[in-house]
Amino acid sequence: MKHLPMLLVLILAPAYVGAAEEAGTVKTIKGSVIVERGAQKLTATVGGKLFASDRLVTGSDSSVGVTLRDNTQLSAGANSVLSLNNFAFDSTTHAGIVDATLKKGTLSVISGKIAKNDPGSVSFHTPTVTLGVRGTKFVIETDGKEE
């Protein structure tokens, strides 16, 4: 019986591995889009799930449309690199966080329930600027070069 707590840890630990919260779903793809998840590079597919810490990379003449669980809509254009740094969403209270970085390229955003509930919980970064959400629609473009 004295080993029971350790046994429970060993049995329950695998349930937590890979149990990251789903952040959103890929809705549209044009051309070549890669999802980088840790060391994995996966070809994005319509209907594919995205998780916090995923990175989307679009090729030339490519684009991707994503809907996050709070109905935030993200559209990344050609030659874009978008990292979803953090995402959490409570569907009952609409509390949460959206934190993303556009390393290069273009990103169109239509904010969702988190921004409507608490605009300060939503931020988008580029190599030179951090944008807080105060409206509902905006576009970000960066060449990826720091000044």
Note the pLDDT tens digit of each residue in 91-119: 999 999 999 999 999 999 999 999 999 98
* Residue 79 maps to a domain: yes
Share of the chain above pLDDT 90, in %: 68
pLDDT grade, residue 70 (50/70/90)?
very high
Q: Are 32 and 58 in contact (CB under 8 A)?
A: yes
Q: Which residue has the tokens 């995923």?
A: 54
* Residue 37 maps to a domain: yes
Using alpha carbons, select from 33, 92, 20, 103 the residue that is nearest to residue 66: 33
pTM confidence score: 0.79
Mean local confidence (pLDDT), 22-26: 97
pLDDT grade, residue 9 (50/70/90)?
very low
* Residue 142 maps to a domain: no
pLDDT grade, residue 35 (50/70/90)?
very high
* Residue 127 maps to a domain: no
pLDDT of 145 higher than 90? no
Q: Which of 35-39, 120-124, 138-142 has the lowest mean pLDDT?
A: 138-142
Share of the chain above pLDDT 70, in %: 74
Residue span of the structural domain in which 42 resides: 22-52+72-100
Q: Is 12 left (phi over 0), alpha (psi -120 to 50) or beta?
A: alpha
* Residue 114 maps to a domain: no
* Residue 106 maps to a domain: no
Give the count of domains, the chain: 1
